[in-house]
Structure 1
Amino acid sequence: MPNFILNIRSAEDELFLSDSFLQCYLLNSEIEQNALKCLCEKLLNAGKIVLLFGARALDLCAPLKADGVLLDLSASENIKRDMASARSLIKGGILGVVSRNRRHEAMIASENEPDFIVFKIWKDGSAQTLELSKWYNEFFLLQQAVMPQDDRADFEQYPSDMVILTPQDYKIFVAKK
């Protein structure tokens, strides 16, 4: 079974703090700043790993004492430069990257050694993403995560190390088990 990262999009999202399967949280940097600070403190005090994502993630990582960021490079024209810039801002923190669901971009991102790479999955087109995920798993040692983009995407067949789920999707997944 993969590890789970809980994708927190609002300050009202359920955190499942007592769930030992959840060790990492992905917080949307667009959450109101005081609420985001409170969420970070609460999770860090509970011994959880906190990653930020979104437009303000790089700027807020250090002030909020987050463990790192998830950087969406799926539209990047210069992955190497963008990753180097991010590394300089997070100063040794965890750097995850979202890659386009294509081999070439996944290879370029991996050559720049993120801590993990993320492939987004949709129900439509999931066969191609599954093929990419399997290929990636054969050729790279970096950890891989998948991030379902709709509730119909079946992540259980992917050879990923981690799955990024919203609290609602995580609750449904746990109820099915």
Structure 2
Amino acid sequence: MLSRLLFIAPIFLGACASPYPNSFTSDRDIEKAVVGSWQCTAEFGDDKRSLDVETVDSYAADGTYKSAGPAFVSFQVEGEYIELKYWFGSFGTWKAEDGELLLASEDLRLTILSHPGIEEVFDLNDSLPQSMAGPASIIELTEDNLVLSVDSNLPPVMCVRLDG
């Protein structure tokens, strides 16, 4: 009997310590699980053009967030491959509602790092709204991972917890 208990106990404890993705029963539980800092990556595009973003996203218990990190824009012009490096920054508010994260950005900025002066010809900030809001579907939320989908036609945003 004791040998069976020693065999089963670690499995049971492991299952209790590792919740399945999206096993949270309320928006408040989601908010508690999301609070903290996350290393997030998102890759959009194809062989001809892409946008890769690597940010640290911090969600505070007071409902504010900030996101910052490098963004790489790659494209081809007349057969030549060009990569621009930007610094991305955003801040705003967040909350969980109906099992989704609602983000409201108060400011979005891209600052060119790799090609100073190019913004006089090609400034991505002209195509970014000053602010925007919308839901992000939670595909996975565990103690260590957060996977979000902002659009079903785009790849998900993959995040790994930094603190904890």
Q: TM-score range by the shorter chain?
A: under 0.3
* Structure holding more strand per residue: 2
What TM-score comes out, normalization by structure 2 length? 0.25
TM-score (norm 1): 0.24
| Larger relative helix fraction | 1
Which one has a bigger Cα radius of gyration? 2
